[in-house]
Structure 1
Amino acid sequence: MAGPSKEKKTLQMTVQTVWEARKSIQSVVKKTPLIHSKKLSAQYGATIYLKYEHLHESNAFKMRGAVNAINHLTAEEKAHGVTTFSTGNHGLAVALAAKKMGIRACICVSKHVPTVKLAAIKELGAELEIYGEAQDDAEQRCYQLEKEQGLAVIPPFDHPHVIAGQGTIALEILEDLPQVDCVIGGLSGGGLLSGIGLVMKQTNPDIRVFGVSMEKGAAMHESLQAGKTVSVTEESTLADSLLGGIGSNNRYTFQMTKNYVDKSFLIPEHSIAKGMAYLYKEHHIMVEGAAAIGVGALLDELLPIDRQENIVLIISGCNVDGVSHFKAIESYI
């Protein structure tokens, strides 16, 4: 697998880095609401909040990291344009950020990325390359474009400015809920929970951070279990945004996830569908499986949660096709 040719030195990640990211993105990325879920709290016996990251213009939290990373490019790099590899949401974020800045963007995806996300990327005017059976294949093509055309690679997770951008979610949570006890979010490449975990653990080591993934193709979960980065086979799942490898040359998110995420859990497809249906019925939002996976895990009591805690669930995105969404959840409505 190809690797990045630039930024060979591993940068030190700190909470200050995240505050710098907040200032960097504030003109483009707006704060999202933290919603108290009264019914879920009553049903589960805890105080539960939902962080509405699906309300970003790109319909997912990925906008934070994409904007921060592109803002740190030089003028020369911006003139050449950017490229990335993605399971969809990061590609959408990079395409939108590039459009706002007048920069060329080429998004590389595998054959498993849903059609609704491909169409959205095209609508933003970005170039789209569908390459291979897995995100690792799309990554390889991405670095080919860097070498051949000089495009700057904006990785989807294993990049300090991307991680710092996602970490701004934690700053907002602490502003609105200083007494937070536990944060639960989807675990894929680890960019989301690396940034959130960094801020939470350095603020208060007792704040717990849980990662949730689908049962098959959970690369970070399997890597954590093995104690080293491993490759997994991608399979169809309602939580398609959580697919993708973490890279054999991973420099940031594997170690940060190991350091800052207390535990990761595998969640079955029926629980993910149940979470999607619950958010549609009770909160009137149509979100993708990766956004509802934490809710589903709570509904089926798959997580070791103290009933007296203040819990925040990251509702990560809503880039989902309406027809397929209802087919997935119809038996739970």
Structure 2
Amino acid sequence: MTEFAITLEDVQDAQKTLAGVARMTAMEGSRHLSSLVGAPVQLKCENLQRTGSFKLRGAYVRIAGLDPEERAAGVVAASAGNHAQGVALAASLLGVRSTVFMPVGAPLPKIAATRDYGAEVRLHGQVVDETLRAAREHAEETGAVFIHPFDHPHVVAGQGTVGLEVLEQCPEVRTIVVGVGGGGLAAGIAVAVKTLRPDVRVIGVQAEGAAAYPPSLVAGRPVALDSVSTMADGIKVGRPGDVPFKIIGALVDEVRTVSEDALSSALLLCLERAKLVVEPAGASPVAALLSDPEAFPGPVVAVLSGGNVDPLLMQRVLRHGMAAAGRYLSLRLRLSDRPGALATLLSVLSRAQANVLDVGHMRTDARLKVTEAEVEVHLETEGADHCSSVVMALREAGYTVL
């Protein structure tokens, strides 16, 4: 036994429980990331897990551990997506009735998937905190068992099975990088890995706008953030869980933070280079590698925790990622309001090898002179240096770039 809520034996028992339920997901090498880090980098593809994320593991182990009376009462959960789908499928596989509360603004594909997996979906609240309260009230009123997304020993043990698979698939690993929201996945991996291989570094990654762990670790207790803001909704958690916090504080070597630009660039890299659809939270370990590649002794395993990304968010994130990588450039310019002026501008852009995606042309505005027009152009470019050369070409041609 250890001082923690779970042991290696708990994780190994969870692995037996999950046999035939959760897949041993693939490990894919990344040449591009390996060249940046200077050592082999493998991607642990939990985005290819059933329901599209690691969440099935913990949800199934938790529900499987209920006694017959608890199962008869049903289960209830609150989630904006991945945990909702994990609970819905796990409950269906175990023959347990499930109710899942989701925010009113949850992406339609995630709502539909949760229903398809067998849950009754109830939309309540604008943010997850309001949804969480509604789920707890439902549990008190009906006797249904509340399934927490990360703050329960059985859930943490289930998520820890990812760590056992990493050691089996990549026994030479020296660093494991994993996204951190409430902390269940990182805590489970840390217990499994550090017990068997204390030499392996486990690094957690949080979004800068939802980084509750760094101040909490300094304080020595879970500290709630006043607000959270990040595109990575899978790790958008304002307070660490009590169960995982103690484990992470003792066993995880470091918790890093990454910017929104790094997250979007990581998502774009996974799509373009690895041919993998990964949500922003799932791409957070890749964002950490991109941000500071020399900080991770290799071989490195980056855990891609999920791939359930809303298509509309994907569109916005890819555009943001292209801009961060210098692949997308938006400009406003002043030019003479005369016939052929727009065609001349486009010819300059063509010579500069910039691909025009969209053009907006405004001729009437109080800021403009009678003889002026303003044009907004959105361009596809080849990188930061190309962006600079495009701007220089426009200025050399006499245009005012705003």
TM-score by length of 2: 0.75
Stretch moving more, 187-196 or 206-215: 206-215
Distance across 1 between alignment mates of 2:232 and 2:308: 11
Q: Which residue of 1 aligns with 2:309?
A: 320
2:124 equivalent to 1:135: no
| Structure 2 letter corresponding to 1:196 | I
Distance 1:12 1:268, change over 3 A: closer
**How far did 1:118 drift?**
2.4
3-state DSSP of counterpart to 2:210? coil
Aligned to 1:5: none
Cα distance between partner residues in 1 of 2:147 and 2:81 = 14
Query: Is 1:81 the counterpart of 2:94 in the alignment?
Result: no
1:240-264 per-residue CA deviation (whole Å, 9 max, x = no partner) reads: 11012336xx541111111111111
2:253 aligned partner: 262
SS in 2 for 1:216: helix
Structure 2 unmatched runs, 5+:
328-402
1:109 paired with 2:102, answer: yes
Q: How far apart are 1:302 and its partner, in Å?
A: 6.5
1:1-333 map, 5 Å: 12-111=5-104, 113-246=106-239, 250-301=241-292, 304-306=295-297, 309-330=298-319, 331=322, 332=325
Contact persistence 2:78–2:135 (CA under 8 A): yes
- SS of the residue corresponding to residue 50 of structure 2 reads coil
Residue pair 2:178, 2:205 contacting (<8 A) in 1 also: yes
1:289-332 CA distances to partner (integer Å, 9 max, x unpaired)? 011111122122267223xx211000011111223213212324
Tell me by how many angstroms 1:100 deviates. Answer: 2.2
2:295 aligned counterpart, secondary structure: coil
Question: Match of 1:291, SS?
Answer: coil
> Cα deviation per residue 1:154-180 (whole Å; 9 max; x = unaligned)?
110011111110101111111111221
2: CA distance, partners of 1:323 / 1:75: 42
Q: CA deviation at 1:28?
A: 1.0
- For structure 1, the 5+ residue unaligned runs are 1-9
User: Per-residue displacement from partner, 1:260-289 (whole Å, max 9, x unpaired)?
Assistant: 111111110000000000010011111100
Post-superposition offset of 1:233:
4.1
- Count residues in correspondence: 320
Q: Which has the higher contact order (CA 8 A, sep 6+)?
A: 1
Distance in 2 (alpha carbons) for counterparts of 1:235 and 1:168 = 29
**Change over 3 Å in CA distance of 1:11–1:110 after alignment to 2:** farther
Q: Residue 118 of structure 2: SS of its match in structure 1?
A: coil
Contact 1:87 1:244 in 2 (8 A): no
**1:40-94 Cα shifts (integer Å, max 9, x gaps):** 2123311100001011120000111111111111112111111112242111100
Task: Tell me if structure 2 keeps the 8 A contact 1:106–1:126.
Answer: yes
In structure 2, C-alpha distance between the alignment counterparts of 1:194 and 1:38, rounded to whole Å: 28
Q: 1:125 to 1:151 in 2, by over 3 A?
A: same
Alignment check: 8 A CA contact 1:113 1:240 kept: no
TM-score of the pair, normalised by structure 1 = 0.90
Structure 1 Cα separation of the partners of residues 17 and 88 of structure 2: 18
Shift of 1:139: 2.6
SS of 1:252's equivalent?
helix
Distance 1:93 1:320 in 2: 15
CA distance in 1, matches of 2:104, 2:214: 23
Name the CA distance, whole Å, in 2 between partners of 1:11 and 1:170: 17
Rounded Cα–Cα distance in structure 1 between residues aligned with 2:186 and 2:207 = 16
Q: Which residue of 1 aligns with 2:357?
A: none
What code does the residue aligned with 2:17 have?
A: S
Give the AA of the match of 1:149: T
